[in-house]
Structure 1
Amino acid sequence: MTRSPSLKRPLIVYPLVFHFVTLLVSFSILIAVALRIDSGGPYTDERIIPIIADAVERDAAGGLSVVMTWDLADLRTEAPDLWFVAEDDQGERVVFGTVPEHYASLLGRLSDLSYAQLRGRVAPYELAAVIRRETTEIGTLTILGHGALSELGFMVVFATNTIILPIFALLTLTSLLVTPWIVRRSLAGVSRIAREAEEIDADSRGRRLSETYVPQEIAPLVRAVNDALSRLDDGYERQRRFIASASHELRTPIAVLASKVDTAESRAVRALALDVQRLATMTEQLLDLHRLENNRQEMAFELAAVGRRVVADLAPLVIASGGSISLDVVDSETCTGDAAALERVLMNLVQNAMDHGGTNIVVRVLGTAFEVEDDGPGIPPHERERVFEPFHRLRPRATGTGLGLNLVREVMDQHGGKVEIRDAPGGGTVFRVDLGGV
């Protein structure tokens, strides 16, 4: 079986993959451009500034001096060519190491600067230096220093790990959570019309799918389905009118035919009486189906009273065929529905028991349900649903129309009840009709 394509893949998975690839390519290009821009060689790592600031103190005269702290000693070991100048805003300064003569003009004016990154063009890059202002316990110092060198590539990788990667992770998380939510919200109307479509059946004609909440791209499909439902309703209505009209028109010629057959002198013609009766019964049952949909009359009635009328009417026919019929009222409750239609249901079940069952028939009333039990050969389990289909016959017979049990199912569907077939305790069949809360 071919699996139906899902909208989740093109609407969620594919956009997410595209977003991730775009972000990766964009970050890669950003890193490459940053590396390409760099043309100044290595630079002094500005992490030397706090170490230098901690090593600068004031002497008794207010001047600046350098104290060899452990961190400064480690920094000098790491960078033997370490040098720096620390200057306060009053012009006091202290020099450590050998300051290149290129920066001589800056001495005494460092406080005018706040930030700079200076690089040398040739190895060993002794001119690479950094300028920063640092606030300390002895005041604000402007420091010009040279120490351990770093490459720009390291800083780019560092920036990627500390800035770009968290942004990438945040965008990824947002896409995973927000995109599916947006798609589900956009397709909520589709789920709604799917539920509406599940509720449409043969008994809910005239219903249409709502076009209000579906996306514009799916609205043409919904309109096409609604148009198809309209055509089906029209076709069903034409068929229903045809069956009703044909049944009405057939009643008169069948009655005339039955009269002529009954009064015929030829034995062969009189032998057609059974077939004519089948035609008359089929016509009445088709009219019953028509009346179920158009002339249903709701009323309160006692199920036991319906059982008594049916048994009284059919007892002579059962006895004439060599059988017996009895009524057992275990419990009777007041029901609401079409009493005439339910009476026809019971008559059809008794007639079915006479034609296909045994010789002994029991009609049993059980509150809002009734049973018709016979002692015939029974109905195989695999046939118990098919016997309710129109014109389906379990065994070929000259009697019956093939519509009786179908009429029973239609009436029960109209009343919201159900009909079941069970095995009789002593062999045979039990048809149980349950009206439930009807």
Structure 2
Amino acid sequence: MSILLLFGFAFVGYLVLTDEGGVLVSPKFAEVAARSVTRGVDGRLHIVETREFAALRAANADLWFVARSDRGDTITFGEIPALYRPLAHHLGSITFADIRDTKPPFQYLAIVRRASGPAGELTVLGKGSLFSATFVVLFLSNLMMIPVLGLLALITIVATPVIVRRALHGLAMIAEKAGAIDIDRRGARLPTDHLPVELVPLVEAMNGALRRLDDGYDRHQRFLVDAAHELRTPIAILQAKIDAAPDTELGRRLQRDVARLATLAEQMLDLQRIDRHAPLRQTVDLAAIAREVAADLAPLVLVAGVEIEVDDLGGETVCGDTAAIARVLANLIQNAMEHGGHRIIVRITGRMIEVEDDGPGIPADERDRIFEPFHRLRPRATGAGLGLHLVRQVMTRHCGSVAAIEAPSGGTIIRLEFAVWTQG
């Protein structure tokens, strides 16, 4: 819009500069002169002092004119310049003229106009009121430029945003797709269709970067899976040898440590399984899983000197991954054994499972952070800090939630709540 205004001003300035300057005689002068001319009873032309003619004469001391009727008779007023006296005899051949004089005192300024009065149609040659020619140029040029600038402004305000929006529609789509890319949606690439040619190399470079990141992530994941699989065999052999050894305090400690190693290997594999997002089509009985997990962990619980109780208050079935939910419960029970007190309650109510202990509890400002990977509540706590992170990942996959709340005894309750719809 500013460019359009500058263009308009420049155009008007050009018109002013090309103007020769000076003044012009007002065309209204001829009409006033014609209305002051009448025809007498003798048939001759006479000048009558009308009010407007008196005002015109008072405002212009050098007023003069020659009026010629269609009959050919003429009448004059004022001192006619010698230059125009011969022209007065030829007014029958001239009906329109603007004669300019660019140098003061502008004594040769004159106009020729046709005008009507009491004496009929007259051709008037003369000099009356003056006005600035530059003003006329400015007025006419502005009168011409305003519609043009208005139209250009309308096009700029209305059409330009539409054109730009359509041209950048592809860029807005790219931004939307780029915002949807995260670590759980790998393999996505940004399309290059409907993009300005200048942006295609940038989008292709971004796609190349995404491809390299995906390759690096896949290599990292394969390494973790391979390492976890390799650890399972020696851990199983070591566990079998410890189980066959005499029951001693050292043997029980080794048994707990080996169980912790086995849990860590399973957690690493679980993270990989969750990452594959297998469909959740199994019908899962939460109470049955809780009883089975508690029975499997009973030997470790007894060795640790902890009581465990499964309280079924009317559990429901959900769609989910039986093995993943079982490992989540095993993680929570083992955490309660390590950090809790002497009694663990696994409570099932509807679509909710709670694991409660009577230990020292978790500070309020730490209850959200315990689900972060590698976060430990206490610096010397055992474990790798992956158990509760795995719990949150599994619940997220099941469209559920997990939260840590304070138990009535002062311990901790880890609450798993499954959504009404967990299919898919």
TM-score, L = length of structure 2: 0.81
1:364 aligns with 2:347: yes
Partner of 1:277: 259
1:290 aligns with 2:272: yes
After superposition, the Cα gap between the structure-2 partners of 1:33 and 1:123, relative to the gap in structure 1 and judged at 3 Å, is closer
After superposition, the Cα gap between the structure-2 partners of 1:83 and 1:397, relative to the gap in structure 1 and judged at 3 Å, is same
Match of 1:300 among 283, 291, 294: 283
Partner of 2:18: 34
The correspondence of residues 69-84 of structure 1 with structure 2, limited to 5 A, is 69-84=50-65
Task: Report % sequence identity.
Answer: 45
Q: What do the CA deviations read for 1:286-337 (whole angstroms, capped 9, x no partner)?
A: 2222222335542233434433433444455445533333444555444222
Q: Is the 1:278–1:401 contact (alpha carbons within 8 Å) kept by the matching residues of 2?
A: no
Partner of 2:205: 224
Q: Is the 1:131–1:143 contact (alpha carbons within 8 Å) kept by the matching residues of 2?
A: yes
Give the unaligned 5+ runs of structure 2: none
Partner of 2:127: 146
The correspondence of residues 112-131 of structure 1 with structure 2, limited to 5 A, is 112-120=93-101, 123-131=104-112
Q: Is the 2:8–2:145 contact (alpha carbons within 8 Å) kept by the matching residues of 1?
A: no
Q: Structure 2: how far apart are the matches of 1:367 and 1:126?
A: 111
Q: Is the 1:412–1:418 contact (alpha carbons within 8 Å) kept by the matching residues of 2?
A: yes
Question: How far off is 1:384 after superposition?
Answer: 3.0
Structure 1 range deviating more: 296-305 or 426-435: 296-305
Q: Structure 1: how far apart are the matches of 2:152 and 2:397?
A: 57
1:394 aligns with 2:348: no
The correspondence of residues 9-88 of structure 1 with structure 2, limited to 5 A, is 20-21=5-6, 23-24=8-9, 26-27=10-11, 29-30=13-14, 32-35=16-19, 37-38=20-21, 41-55=22-36, 67-87=48-68
Q: Structure 2: how far apart are the matches of 1:315 and 1:113?
A: 127
The correspondence of residues 229-248 of structure 1 with structure 2, limited to 5 A, is 229-248=210-229
Question: How far off is 1:204 after superposition?
Answer: 0.8
Q: What do the CA deviations read for 1:97-141 (whole angstroms, capped 9, x no partner)?
A: 444343344446546545422023654323201233457899765
Question: How far off is 1:203 after superposition?
Answer: 0.9
Aligned AA (1:383):
E
Aligned residues: 419
After superposition, the Cα gap between the structure-2 partners of 1:201 and 1:152, relative to the gap in structure 1 and judged at 3 Å, is same
Aligned AA (2:225):
A
What secondary structure, in the 3-state scheme, does the structure 1 residue paired with 2:346 have?
Answer: strand
Structure 1 range deviating more: 46-55 or 367-376: 46-55
Q: Is the 2:12–2:141 contact (alpha carbons within 8 Å) kept by the matching residues of 1?
A: no
After superposition, the Cα gap between the structure-2 partners of 1:306 and 1:172, relative to the gap in structure 1 and judged at 3 Å, is same
Q: Is the 1:86–1:144 contact (alpha carbons within 8 Å) kept by the matching residues of 2?
A: yes
Give the unaligned 5+ runs of structure 1: 1-15
1:427 aligns with 2:410: yes
After superposition, the Cα gap between the structure-2 partners of 1:114 and 1:266, relative to the gap in structure 1 and judged at 3 Å, is farther
Question: How far off is 1:394 after superposition?
Answer: 1.2
Q: Is the 1:325–1:361 contact (alpha carbons within 8 Å) kept by the matching residues of 2?
A: yes
Partner of 2:191: 210
Q: What do the CA deviations read for 1:223-275 (whole angstroms, capped 9, x no partner)?
A: 21111111111111122222222222322222223334455689898564443
What secondary structure, in the 3-state scheme, does the structure 1 residue paired with 2:413 have?
Answer: strand
Q: Structure 2: how far apart are the matches of 1:93 and 1:329?
A: 127
Aligned AA (1:285):
Q
Q: Is the 2:402–2:417 contact (alpha carbons within 8 Å) kept by the matching residues of 1?
A: yes
Q: Is the 1:20–1:172 contact (alpha carbons within 8 Å) kept by the matching residues of 2?
A: no
After superposition, the Cα gap between the structure-2 partners of 1:404 and 1:121, relative to the gap in structure 1 and judged at 3 Å, is closer
